[in-house]
Amino acid sequence: MASNLEAAERVEATTFGDRLAETIDRKRTQLVVGLDPQRDLLPVELAGDAYQGRDRTAEAFVRFCNGIVDAVTPYAVAVKPQLAFFEALGSDGMRALEEVCAYARQAGLLVIVDGKRGDIGSTARAYAAAYLEGAPPLADALTVNPYLGRDSLEPLLGACRRHGAGVFCLVKTSNEGGEIQDLKLSDGTPLWQHVAKLVAEWGEDLVGARGLSSVGAVVGATHPRAVGEARRLLPQSILLLPGVGAQGASPGDVARAFTSGPASALVAASRSVIYAFRSASETDWRSAAAAEAARLKSEIWAAAGW
């Protein structure tokens, strides 16, 4: 009975993997632009308002992020709001996040909220309700921490089945992280590779018609060899690859991530796009962001080889 119910739930909504693949086919881009609004880095025209109270800072964040959405929509498949920058502004920031997410989805972009959530029981169910459920949900996908085990993800996997949501599990992050993620198990396998195998198992029953699971993995583009190994361990998972741009990785570092198809990986760039005006000859922040997004879109597509 339970298996029949799960099967029925799965067909109620188009899977995240299928929606992503369809959008990538249409737009021919795997670029995800991170939205990391920081008051000290805002353009001059917005910075003044941002120092007049928390509510005005939140309004400036909305204007900035929505302007970035306008600039990058032709070149990106999704945006990735970093939850921490909005949470720092309290209730004003959370209202700003809702506005930005709604604006991006209306523009035709998928929204991946970067929250790295992970907990058990009713808390996990609340995270699923907050970000992946509702009419419409706040986001299409959420980054999650899998280190509490499958029971911490089950409510989120349920949202994937019922609502066509996606999750991206932290597997090998773009920071160093070696003292934990590279720790060797008794058989010599690095811990992160063991987590990758678990992620592959958790996503087996959430594979859509395009062969991609709604359970993806975050793998830092700053670790090119790990990207290739993650692709081998996760043949049906979408890899979300942060670290291109300000963190030093290049599109060429992630080419091997695309061997499962053009939609099997997403390349995330944040500061190098949204703050491109700070180092570019183009002084208009929207135009500078658009130019950098267009460059990355072209280079990533070429590196993917499709």
In the chain, the percentage of residues whose pLDDT exceeds 70 is: 94
Residues 186-206: what's their mean pLDDT?
Answer: 95
Residues 75 and 293: their CA atoms lie apart, in Å, by: 6
Residues 131 and 138: their CA atoms lie apart, in Å, by: 5
Dihedral of CA 301/19/226/76: which sign?
A: positive
How far out from the chain centre does Cα 19 lie?
14
For the segment 115-170, what is each residue's pLDDT rounded down to a tens digit?
999 999 999 999 999 999 988 999 999 999 999 999 999 999 999 999 999 999 99
Instruction: Give 223 or 194, the one with higher predicted confidence.
Output: 194
Residues 3-21: what's their mean pLDDT?
Answer: 65
Place of tokens 């690095």: 190
What pLDDT does residue 224 have? 86
DSSP state of 211: S
| Residues 142, 113 contacting (CB under 8 angstroms) | yes
Tokens for 43, please give them: 């353009």
Residues 270 and 199: their CA atoms lie apart, in Å, by: 25
Q: Which amino acid is at 108?
A: G
| Residues 165, 135 contacting (CB under 8 angstroms) | no
Instruction: With CA atoms as reference, report the closest residue to 119 among 148, 143, 160.
Output: 148
| Cross-strand pairs, 137 | 134
| Residues 158, 149 contacting (CB under 8 angstroms) | no
Place of tokens 């799960």: 6
How far is CA 71 from each of CA 67, 78, 288, rounded to the nearest angstrom?
6, 13, 9
Q: Which CATH superfamily is domain 2-304 in?
A: Aldolase class I (3.20.20.70)
Indicate the burial class of 170 (C-beta count within 10 angstroms; 0-12, 13-18, 19 or more).
buried
What pLDDT does residue 286 have? 96
* pLDDT interval class at 47 (50, 70, 90): confident
What pLDDT does residue 1 have? 38
What pLDDT does residue 175 have? 84
Tokens for 51, please give them: 């120092």
Say whether 116 is catalytic: yes
Catalytic residue among 116, 172, 197, 297: 116
Residues 51-59: what's their mean pLDDT?
Answer: 91
Task: Specify the range with the lowest mean pLDDT, choosing from 84-88, 218-222, 249-253.
Answer: 249-253
For the segment 257-300, what is each residue's pLDDT rounded down to a tens digit?
999 899 999 999 999 999 999 987 767 999 999 999 999 999 99
Indicate the burial class of 54 (C-beta count within 10 angstroms; 0-12, 13-18, 19 or more).
middle
What pLDDT does residue 201 have? 96
Task: Enumerate the domain spans of the chain.
Answer: 2-304
Tokens for 208, please give them: 């859509």
